[in-house]
Amino acid sequence: MPSTGYFTHPAYLRHDTGPGHPERAARLAAIDERLRAGGIGSELARAEAPLADPAALATVHDPAYVERVEARIERGERVLDEGDTRVSAESWRAARAAAGGAIAAVDRVMSGELANAFVGARPPGHHAERSHAMGFCLFNNAAIAAQHARIAHGIQRVAIVDWDVHHGNGTQHLFERDPSVYYASIHQWPLYPGTGLEKERGIGAGEGTTLNVPMPPGTDDAAWLSAFESKIVRALEDFAPELVILSAGFDAHAADPLSQTRLSTDAYRTMTEACIAIANATARGRMVSLLEGGYDLDALSRSVEAHLIALARAARPS
- For residue 2, is pLDDT > 90? no
Q: How far is CA 215 from CA 199, 212, 225, in A?
A: 14, 10, 11
pLDDT value for 60: 98
* 3-state class (DSSP) for residue 180: coil
Domain positions in the chain: 3-315
pLDDT value for 82: 82
* 3-state class (DSSP) for residue 114: strand
0.75 cut: is pTM over it? Answer: yes
- Among 112, 174, 188, which Cα is nearest to 146's? 174
Q: How confident is the model at residue 293 (pLDDT cuts 50, 70, 90)?
A: very high
CB atoms within 10 A of CB 179: 15
Compute the C-alpha angle 3/13/34, nearest 5°: 50
Q: What is the DSSP letter of 229?
A: I
Helix (H) or strand (E) holding 291: strand 287-291
198-227 pLDDT tens trace: 999 999 999 999 999 999 999 999 999 999
- For residue 1, is pLDDT > 90? no
Higher pLDDT: 287 or 2? It is 287
70-107 pLDDT tens trace: 999 999 999 999 889 999 999 999 999 999 999 999 99
CATH class of 3-315: alpha beta
- Among 54, 57, 48, 66, which Cα is nearest to 144's? 57
- For residue 317, is pLDDT > 90? no
Q: How confident is the model at residue 39 (pLDDT cuts 50, 70, 90)?
A: confident
Alpha-carbon distance 174 to 121, whole Å?
21
pLDDT value for 73: 98
**What's the N-to-C CA distance of the chain in angstroms?**
11
Per annotation, catalytic residue among 61, 127, 148, 166: 127
pLDDT value for 83: 87
Alpha-carbon distance 153 to 148, whole Å?
7
Active site residue 61: no
Length of the chain: 318
- For residue 59, is pLDDT > 80? yes
Q: Are strands 243-248 and 158-162 parallel, antiparallel or unpaired?
A: parallel
